């Protein structure tokens, strides 16, 4: 059995996960990163995306997070998410609505900064939808 570390995924509503795992891939705002036992301490902000958790027995679980922070410490990984759910509970319709809002914001942007911000939102929501389909389209609502 591989050495493990503690992960906790916490949202305002509940503690979604608290267990010992082998590795976790996290959607940081600067890019995805993987945490394993004895990882160097650091903090990162999160972008909307999917955490992939590999248990000590090799089983893989996927969770959706929308914003927040990841804190890697000697005690393990704590994910403080603005919103978090299991992949099975990922709501594609909600993301489609956010994408539509971002597209409207892009169309009505008045200056280059507003357009750039709106384009980043559109790109982010579109990438999230493609990633969800790639992970397992059969389980996305």
Are 35 and 45 within 8 A, CB to CB? no
130 exposure class (CB count in 10 Å sphere: 0-12, 13-18, 19+): exposed
Query: Residue 69's pLDDT is what?
Result: 96
In the predicted model, is pLDDT for residue 56 greater than 80?
yes
- What pTM did the predictor assign? 0.79
pLDDT over threshold 90, residue 65 = yes
Domain ranges of the chain: 5-88, 91-139
Q: Provide the pLDDT for residue 133.
A: 76
Fold of 5-88: ATP Synthase; domain 1 (2.60.15)
Q: Above 50 in pLDDT, residue 140? A: no
Q: For residue range 84-138, list pLDDT tens digits in order.
A: 988 888 778 888 888 888 888 888 889 988 888 888 877 887 787 878 777 764 4
Angle ∠(90,103,47) on CA atoms, nearest 5: 45
């Amino acid at each position: 059995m591989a050495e493990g570390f503690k992960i906790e995924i916490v949202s305002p509503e509940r503690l979604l996960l608290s267990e010992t795992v082998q590795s976790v891939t996290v959607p940081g705002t600067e890019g995805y990163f993987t945490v394993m036992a004895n990882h160097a301490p650091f903090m990162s902000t999160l972008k909307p995306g999917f955490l992939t958790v590999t248990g000590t027995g090799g089983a893989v679980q996927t969770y959706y997070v929308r914003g927040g922070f990841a804190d890697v410490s000697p005690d393990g990984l704590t994910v403080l998410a603005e919103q978090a759910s299991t992949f099975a509970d990922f709501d594609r319709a909600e993301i489609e609505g956010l994408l539509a809002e971002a597209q409207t914001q892009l169309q009505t942007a008045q200056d280059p900064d507003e357009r750039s911000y709106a384009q980043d939102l559109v790109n982010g929501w579109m990438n999230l939808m493609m990633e969800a389909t790639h992970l397992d389209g059969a389980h996305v609502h």
